[in-house]
Amino acid sequence: MNKFKLLLSGVCLLFGLAANAENYLISTPNTTLFVEGVKGKQLNIQYYGSRIESADEVYDSGTALWQPAYPAFGLECTREPAIQVTHADGNMSLDLLFNNVEKSTEGNAQVWKFVLSDPVYPFQVKVCYKAFQDVDVIEAWTEISHSEKKPVTLYKFASTYIPLRDNKNWLSHLHGTWTAEGYLFEEELLPGIKVIKNKDGVRNGQDDNPSFMLSFGQAPSENSGAVLGATLAWSGNYSLKFDTNHSRKTSIIAGINEDASQYVLMPKEVFRTPELAITYSMEGKGGVSRNFHRWARNHKLAHGTQLRDVLLNSWEGVYLNVNQEVMNDMMSDFSKLGGELFVMDDGWFGNKYARKTDSSGLGDWEVDVEKLPQGIGALIASAKNNNIKFGIWIEPEMVNSKSELYEKHPDWIICQNNRTPEMGRGGTQLVLDLSNPKVQDFVFGIVDDLMTKYPQISYIKWDANMNLHNYGSYYLPKDKQSHLYIDYHRGLIKVLQRIQAKYPNLAMQACGGGGGRTNYGVLPYFDEFWASDNTDALQRIYIQWGVSHYYPASAIAAHVSAEKNHQSGRIVPLKYRFDVAMSGRLGMEMQPKDIPDNEKDFARKAFATYKEIRPIVQLGDQYRLISPYERQGVASLMYISEDKKDAVFFAYRIENLRCQLTPPFKMQGLDPNKKYKLEEINYIDKKLNQHEKVISGKYLMEQGVSLNLGDEYSSMIIRLKEI
């Protein structure tokens, strides 16, 4: 009886708190984050999932989470905290209690800032959420400040904390290495702490990616099931922690990686953490991806709703052997194929230390007059004569020890006092210290000088080929050396903001020695990213499949390379190379003259075909159909226009085994009540038996089509049009 009374009183207390609390429903069109607060008490997260219209649904069902919105270390010590500090008096505790909420509107988004204060110390945390009203994404971050008399040291400072109900959850994330970035890994979360982290210092997408999906109650599925997705909008070191207890209740703590990054917070200073963008879908991983893609195009990518040009990059065509004649010939050959933009890659700069190898010249951004006696102006004129645009490669965050810049400013590099610098690429590469405002001015000046002298430059490929060694800053004071990982990226963003403000129409690609700059920390200032230095068409299917979980096709630079691939040595037909690249932002990474004469007509038609389907691929909704990771011998995906009148379907043979079963190709996302005419495009010899057949969307999704796909390295693209 006593136990019953105790249980009853607990239930009454629970519902009494719910009745007296302020309930805040932070909603997008189809999702809701429910936060509950009582002044002077802990702020709680009660629910996140599909949109609800009333807090009573959560309370009455008994599914409220009753978890802190931002747990602090000190009074409660067993929970993995979102924040941990040390006050000037040595006290390591925080007691963050809800005070008030600040609500505002930014564009078509609602912003909520929940103010939490410590009753003893003048310390404040604003737990912030930005709910978009046109896409199903909520951005979450914190703003940490204090008015204590002396500095407070921050040891942990997560962007957000997300509690989940007890359940069996599966984690989907990306992992890889150079030339194999973005591979998809999926695993069940078991009791303990799973951590995905990065400590590169400069780039953060080459080994892992600051993004994940959690599938609730079932193994990951493309088109069904409840899935939460998140991606951290930060370009530096990060940590994604998944703390799962014995009852399978998981808490997510995401933000900057605090390793070697304790932050000395001065009085009145505001420490703003990067945003973690979260979304939720009942349409499986594909629904989460489409939410992220719409958010990226509408709000997070530079020029996100504009179509991307078909380009040729010179790197694999000539590597560092840039010269006037070769550049002119490449532009002429590419223009004849229907290209729109030529990008001159590495090798065009340096005089005293000419860029003949990768061991010299970085930092000396002056034209090599031996290679380019008529300069960049002549190349721009050549591009204009060939009716294409001109772009250029730079690596502005780096310097070689064999350079005039290093001779003048050896104190501009990242390095400790009394240490010999550890070198990177070419045995001489070093990283410039972007925490230093003088270095920021220099890096901005590289772009500013180019654009001032040559305003016709329409595109810049921005590379970063080294991670951070020699942890130390000649610029930062001795008591703030641990700010370097953070202040480097703050400096980078300041530079990018200045460039965008002065040159708003300049298109840029984020490259980080391959896929190292695949993140939403830099993408507001870049139109696209280079997913990998690996241009092998077969392996690119796996890489592009992985990164498409979080990034839209318009941002994924995908290039047709040489017949014998430079990374894998694999020999792949031209059609297959085109068909793979056409599922992203199509480009070319080779010498156009090396295309055999009997295949040049196909290349011209392929570029023309891509321009026709480009609006659907780059701006449409993506549906991943048969995954290459499922080992069914084939892979397929498709893009559909917003009005569902047009679609483009891609299928690839990825294995060729005798008596191999090929599954039917079932489509997704079509209107079941519409009828679609199927048309094979980008073909050499038609293989589609259903060419010009009319089939209902319902049948195509339920039963699919059987394709005569062919043997090894065969592929097919089908255009669907509403009839």
pLDDT digits 0-9 by tens, 349-402: 999 999 999 999 999 999 999 999 999 999 999 999 999 999 999 999 999 999
Q: What integer pLDDT is reported at residue 13 of this predicted model? A: 41
Assess whether pLDDT exceeds 70 at residue 588: yes
Fold type of domain 2-300: Beta-galactosidase; Chain A, domain 5 (2.70.98)
Give the strand order in the sheet containing 715-722.
621-626, 634-640, 646-653, 715-722, 675-681, 694-696
pLDDT digits 0-9 by tens, 307-349: 999 999 999 999 999 999 999 999 999 999 999 999 999 999 9
Rounded Cα–Cα distance for residues 290 and 311 (Å): 26
CA angle 168, 174, 175 (to 5 degrees): 115
Q: How far is CA 605 from CA 499, 594, 627, 689, in A?
A: 37, 17, 28, 21
Domain ranges of the chain: 2-300, 311-619, 624-722
Assess whether pLDDT exceeds 90 at residue 404: yes
What are the start-end ranges of the E strands in 417-488? 429-431, 457-462
Rounded Cα–Cα distance for residues 323 and 330 (Å): 11
3-state secondary structure of 445: helix
Name the nearest CA neighbour of 216 among 202, 199, 228: 228
Mean pLDDT over each residue of the chain, to the nearest integer: 96
- In the chain, the amino acid numbered 189 is L
Q: End-to-end distance of the chain based on CA atoms, in angstroms?
A: 71
Find out whether 578 and 560 touch, Cβ atoms under 8 Å: yes
CATH number of 311-619: 3.20.20.70
pLDDT digits 0-9 by tens, 203-256: 999 999 999 999 999 999 999 999 999 999 999 999 999 999 999 999 999 999
Assess whether pLDDT exceeds 80 at residue 716: yes
Find out whether 216 and 169 touch, Cβ atoms under 8 Å: yes
Residue 718, Cβ neighbours under 10 Å: how many? 25
With b meaning 16 or more CB within 10 Å and e meaning fewer, what string describes 577-588?
Answer: bbbbbbbbbbbb
Find out whether 406 and 363 touch, Cβ atoms under 8 Å: yes
Q: What integer pLDDT is reported at residue 221 of this predicted model? A: 98
Rounded Cα–Cα distance for residues 694 and 691 (Å): 9
Residue 21 pLDDT grade (very low, low, confident, very high; cuts 50, 70, 90): confident
Q: What integer pLDDT is reported at residue 11 of this predicted model? A: 41
Q: Which residues pair with 589 in a beta bridge?
A: 561
Rounded Cα–Cα distance for residues 510 and 533 (Å): 12
Q: What integer pLDDT is reported at residue 572 of this predicted model? A: 97
Residue 40, Cβ neighbours under 10 Å: how many? 10
- In the chain, the amino acid numbered 697 is G
Q: Which residues pair with 400 in a beta bridge?
A: 429
Q: What integer pLDDT is reported at residue 186 of this predicted model? A: 98
Residue 177 pLDDT grade (very low, low, confident, very high; cuts 50, 70, 90): very high
Q: What integer pLDDT is reported at residue 14 of this predicted model? A: 44
Q: Calculate mean pLDDT across residues 567-572.
A: 98
Place of tokens 């003259």: 593
Q: Calculate mean pLDDT across residues 650-665.
A: 92
pLDDT digits 0-9 by tens, 391-400: 999 999 999 9
Alpha-helical regions (H) of 282-400: 284-295, 315-318, 324-337, 375-385
Rounded Cα–Cα distance for residues 349 and 246 (Å): 59
Q: How far is CA 273 from CA 145, 254, 258, 263, 265, in A?
A: 12, 10, 12, 12, 13
Residue 501 pLDDT grade (very low, low, confident, very high; cuts 50, 70, 90): very high
Residue 282, Cβ neighbours under 10 Å: how many? 13
Residue 424 pLDDT grade (very low, low, confident, very high; cuts 50, 70, 90): very high
Token pair belonging to 673: 């009540």
Global confidence as pTM: 0.96
At the second CATH level, the architecture of 624-722 is Sandwich (2.60)
> What is the share, in percent, of the chain residues with pLDDT greater than 90?
95
Q: Calculate mean pLDDT across residues 460-486.
A: 98
Find out whether 553 and 640 touch, Cβ atoms under 8 Å: no
Q: Which residues pair with 609 in a beta bridge?
A: none
Find out whether 243 and 80 touch, Cβ atoms under 8 Å: yes
Q: What is the DSSP letter of 685?
A: S
pLDDT digits 0-9 by tens, 526-560: 999 999 999 999 999 999 999 999 999 999 999 99
Q: What is the DSSP letter of 359?
A: T
Name the nearest CA neighbour of 99 among 159, 39, 15, 32: 39
Within 13 A of 711's CA, how many CA atoms are on the CB side? 2
Q: What integer pLDDT is reported at residue 354 of this predicted model? A: 97
Name the nearest CA neighbour of 296 among 454, 488, 136, 85: 136
Q: Sign of dihedral through CA atoms 325, 326, 327, 328? A: positive
